[in-house]
Amino acid sequence: MPPQYQAAITGLGAYVPEKVLTNFDLEKMVDTTDEWIRTRTGIRERRIAAKGQSASDLGVRAGMEAIQDAGLTPKDIDLIIVATVTPDMAFPSTACYIQTKIGADCGAFDMAAACSGFPYALAVGESFIRSGRYQHILVIGSEVLSGFIDWTDRSTCVLFGDGAGAAVVSRSNHESHGIIATHLGSDGSQADLLQIPAGGSMNPPSEETIRNRMHFLKMQGSEVFKIAVRTMEYAVKEVLKAGHLQLSDIDCLIPHQANMRILQAVTERLELSPEKVFINVERYGNMSSASTIVALYEAVKTGKVKKGSNIILVAFGGGLTWASTLIHW
């Protein structure tokens, strides 16, 4: 058996674009109201990338902060993994753009697991550390969803925002410290519930796909809502089982931030105290793969997650995919 090393998050970074789009701004764009958006989703505002700002630009800002927070330089990074469904281009990968922009000298690739992207990428990074192959991996979730949203569709355009978060995952000498367990799942039979139908090899971009607005994100919201609640509860329980812990051992749940009502329903079903659930959906909306890592960043920086805390990241999204990570901070 090769040696097994422990993996821990040693640095965190986050970046959201400066431009704030409020619910009141959206009232002027589509037939909606601040009241509807707030009561149905909990969202008050979201960030929108500037013209020309791509997923790699956001990822560089978050990634550099995480590298500095870990006390490292880009040359110390052995691998870059970027979770995104809004890459700079179909190829080359957004990770390659980030590698050159930060001046790292290592392998780099993208992963697509939609809103579950960050915990998925973290699981891959953790495995490279555990195997002993690498010492420091930069894991980024970065999205510029604003370029893939149909700004005439009120059922989706009010929900999403742009942002990026990053973590450095490093080899740790403390056996009980770091990533304790991971659970990953998918159900591709439900792919049509949440997707960008055109632009890939199934529906290559054409005048027709553009005319039919197939290059924009489509979601069957109420169906996704119900499955999200059930699945996030399940993913939390599965990762607890894998880590041999009880829910009462958990100090903070960091869920994917899609909708306040989903988070409240998951909290109730788990019979978890609401103070133990970190929520920032009101400020950013759903940033897909950036949501859980930006939430973790804020939970740590505001002291909600402290040294010694047991935390769970849990995410659910298009694919369908879901993922959960149990971490002893």
**Does position 222 bind ligand UT7 by CB under 6 A?**
yes
Whether 183 is catalytic is no
Q: Which residue number, 8 or 43, has a Cβ lying nearer to ligand UT7? A: 43
Assigned token pair, 212: 């039919």
From 259, 286, 310, 328, active-site residue: 286
Nearer to ligand UT7, 41 or 170 (CB): 41
Contact between 186 and ligand UT7 by CB under 6 A: the answer reads no
Q: Which residue in 259, 289, 310, 321 binds ligand UT7 (CB under 6 A)? A: 259
In the complex, least distance from residue 191 CB atom to ligand UT7, rounded to whole angstroms: 13
Please state the closest distance from residue 263 (CB atom) to ligand UT7, in A.
10
286 binding ligand UT7? (CB under 6 A): yes
Q: From the CB of 7, what's the least distance to ligand UT7, in Å?
A: 26
Contact status: 232 vs ligand UT7 (CB under 6 A):
no
How many Cβ atoms are within 10 Å of 113's Cβ, its own excluded?
Answer: 28
CA distance 250 to 240: 9
Active site residue 252: no
Question: Which residue in 174, 162, 131, 143 sits closest to 9, CA to CA?
Answer: 174
Q: Please say which residue, 12 or 219, places its beta carbon nearer to ligand UT7.
A: 219
Contact, 82 vs 98, CB < 8 A? yes
Residue 158 as a binder of ligand UT7 (CB under 6 A): the answer is yes
41 makes contact with ligand UT7 (CB under 6 A): yes
Under 8 Å between Cβ of 194 and 318:
yes
Determine the residue with CB nearest ligand UT7. 221
Give the shortest CB-318-to-ligand UT7 separation in angstroms: 6
Cα gap 128→116, rounded to integer Å: 19
83 binds ligand UT7 (CB under 6 A): no
- Check if the beta carbon of residue 66 is closer than 8 Å to that of residue 11: yes
Integer angstrom CA distances of residue 24 from 31, 36, 46, 153, 260: 11, 11, 11, 16, 19
Q: Kindly tell me which residue out of 95, 115, 181, 299 binds ligand UT7, with binding defined by CB under 6 A.
A: 115
Indicate whether 228 belongs to the interface with ligand UT7 (CB under 6 A). yes
- Which of 25, 34, 36, 193 touches ligand UT7 (CB under 6 A)? 36
Q: Is 244 a catalytic residue?
A: no
Q: Is 190 in the site for ligand UT7 (CB under 6 A)?
A: no
Considering only 38, 101, 154, 276, the residue that binds ligand UT7 (CB under 6 A) is 154
| Residues known to be catalytic | 115, 256, 286
Binding footprint of ligand UT7 on the chain (CB under 6 A): 32, 36-37, 40-41, 115, 154-155, 158-159, 221-222, 224-225, 228, 258-259, 262, 286, 316-317
